[in-house]
Chains A and B, each alone.
Chain A
Amino acid sequence: MADPIDSYLDELERSLNLPSAERAAIREEIASHLHDERSSLITEGLEPAAAATEAIRRQGDAPALGQALTQARQTRRALLVAAGAGTWAAAGAAVRAWILGVAAVVATLLAIGLAAAILTRGGTSGSWLIEDAGWYSAVGATTFLVAAWAAGRMFVTVAARESHRPAGWIRPWIALFGGIVVAWLALVWLRVPQNLASVLVLGSVPVCFALAALTGSDRPILRTRLARRAGLALFATMAFGLPILAFAGTTPVATSLSAVGSGPYASMQAMLHALGFDMAGRLLVQEPDFGDESWSASNGVATISVGNAGAITAQWHDLRIEAWRALLDTGGLDRSSPDPIATAPVSVTAGDALVGSIRVDGVRGVSQFMIVLTGVAPDGQRDFLTSLGGTNTTFNGSALDWLRAP
């Protein structure tokens, strides 16, 4: 026959709508009380069975006690404390996870660099840095993903503990409201140049947070010795590895950046073709004489100015300034983008100059661009007239602008 005290405690535990750790603690507390009471009653002369029954009677109805204990712990103040403590703990967990994520990336890059050095027998040709076309953002977004997961899990654990509510009650709220905040952060992140991988990772960050929250537990987080050691090892890797990477990244190395631009070409047309400028129009045997040429770029606007406007407009019409996605390491255009990212007309000034301005910071995924001048020849073909320069740019605008942008 089951011990009546155990049966009472089972019923009490079932009626407690609290996190599992609190349910266990309350069961243990009431159990010790009942056993003390029973021992005292036995000392007073009651039979053990009768003593247990009397101890239970004095404690009162188990479901009513469970409900009263639940209400006593689940106050509004506790809910407010839980919101604050949960947010703080989630932010801390996110920062720790992000640091560990960065450490993991640094460790990976160091391993790749070491492997490359061994394979090239210690040679230093090439750069250790990732050639960026949104990849920096993709790597950062991946660490953000890890941080979001850690934050979601930690938020549920701490909020359940502080609010004295079961994880099942907490999860949907954290997934919803926390997910909105994380989605907003991801949208802010989308303002910097991205590639497809980066956009996909950022898009999955709110989902990752919500999944972490929905699978979160109200059980205390176990901090094992192995986890502490792994964290310390990753942190040490980052502490030592970052300066090495920074040094390697800033050390001049032999590269082939200008190899394409300075190659032995038979003609200027061949070189322009190699650099991809034939995408912007027909290549001329001889570039027109523009006299004074200048160009500038600031605050996302590139401006071009060339002379001899009269001579140029006599030969070409529909002159326009075009911005092209570029690969500045090779000094040419990005052949994977066969259309200009933006175009704008040019106008003739009183000083016989052709002047045009173009905004280059409103297109997603463009980190480097090149400005070219084109015009339509009498035969109807658009000619590439000249390219004055190019540089890097970043997307400028809100997350909404980013979504609307081409």
Chain B
Amino acid sequence: MFDRQRIQAQLLKGTLPLLVLATLRDGELHGYEIARRIRARSGGAFTLSEGSLYPALHRLETDGALEAAWRAGEGGPRRRYYCLTRAGHAALEQAEREWSTFASGVSQVALGSDHGG
């Protein structure tokens, strides 16, 4: 009845900015490394569509949540590194609160009140 990949894609669509901001909390990373860490930290719970990662990164940069700078790679081509701005940190905190409330609400409805936060 439900396509698992489609459900994942729809869920990821709204949470991708939060995932990106949270991944960058500890320091600057380039796009490939962000994708790799999200994949690793999720424990394979979902597969990040890499095609949606870069539009999200560029949107966050245009909105002022991220700053990007080119740096030479270690023996390889130079890469574009992203890091959180002050506005990005604030956006991350807000997104985490909203996600917590939202996830709790969804859990209570979908899984019953015992699973609520």
A33 in contact with B55 (CB, 8 Å)? no
Complex interface: chain B residues within 8 A of A72 (CB):
55-56, 58-59, 62
B50 in contact with A75 (CB, 8 Å)? no
Complex interface: chain A residues within 8 A of B31 (CB):
29, 33
Q: Mark A40-77, 1 if CB is under 8 A from B, else 0.
A: 00000000000000000011110011001101110101
Chain B interface mostly: helix
Q: How far is the CB of A63 from chain B (nearest CB, A)?
A: 11
State whether the Cβ of B49 lies closer than 8 Å to any Cβ in chain A.
yes
How many residues of B are counted as interface, with CB atoms below 8 angstroms from the partner's CB atoms? 22
State whether the Cβ of A31 lies closer than 8 Å to any Cβ in chain B.
yes
State whether the Cβ of A364 lies closer than 8 Å to any Cβ in chain B.
no
Complex interface: chain A residues within 8 A of B86 (CB):
none
Q: How far is the CB of B2 from chain A (nearest CB, A)?
A: 22
Q: Mark A263-291, 1 if CB is under 8 A from B, else 0.
A: 00000000000000000000000000000
State whether the Cβ of B44 lies closer than 8 Å to any Cβ in chain A.
no
Give Cα distance in the complex from A72 to B52, angstroms: 11
A61 in contact with B62 (CB, 8 Å)? no
- From B71-79, B96-104, B106-114, give the one contacting chain A: B71-79
A73 in contact with B32 (CB, 8 Å)? no
A32 in contact with B62 (CB, 8 Å)? no
A60 in contact with B77 (CB, 8 Å)? no
State whether the Cβ of A37 lies closer than 8 Å to any Cβ in chain B.
yes
Give Cα distance in the complex from A231 to B66, angstroms: 36
Of A29, A60, A71, A73, which contacts B51 at CB under 8 A?
A: A60
B62 in contact with A77 (CB, 8 Å)? yes
Q: Mark B42-62, 1 if CB is under 8 A from A, else 0.
A: 000000011110111011001
State whether the Cβ of B93 lies closer than 8 Å to any Cβ in chain A.
no
Give Cα distance in the complex from A71 to B52, angstroms: 12
Complex interface: chain A residues within 8 A of B63 (CB):
75, 77
State whether the Cβ of B30 lies closer than 8 Å to any Cβ in chain A.
yes
Q: Which of B31, B52, B55, B79 has the most CB of A within 10 A?
A: B55
Please provide the 5 A-B residue pairs with the shortest distance between their CB atoms, ordered closest to farther: A60-B51, A68-B55, A72-B59, A72-B58, A72-B55
* Partner-A contacts on B (CB < 8 A): 30-32, 35, 49-52, 54-56, 58-59, 62-63, 70, 73, 76-80
* Partner-B contacts on A (CB < 8 A): 25-26, 28-33, 35-37, 58-61, 64-65, 68-69, 71-73, 75, 77-78, 164
* 7 A/B residue pairs, CB under 8 Å, sorted by A: A32-B32, A32-B78, A32-B79, A32-B80, A60-B50, A68-B51, A72-B56
